[in-house]
Amino acid sequence: MADLTEADVRALARALELPMTEEDAAEVTHRLNAFIEALAPLADLPAGGPEATPAPVDPDGT
């Protein structure tokens, strides 16, 4: 997967209406690319697996 560019990150911020200064663009780009790289090994995990079991919900909160 290609790294995000600063232009990509600025466009995402605009699309999500997130405030971001030009000074922050480089740091945010670096952090997002590091996050994507850290998650990359998860793509190799098999898609199938045990079915998720919902946790019981106590409507009374006790």
Q: How confident is the model at residue 1 (pLDDT cuts 50, 70, 90)?
A: low
- 3-state SS, the chain, equals CCCCCHHHHHHHHHHCCCCCCHHHHHHHHHHHHHHHHHHHHHHHCCCCCCCCCCCCCCCCCC
What pLDDT digit, counting tens, does each position of 18-35 carry?
Answer: 999 988 999 999 999 999
pTM: 0.66
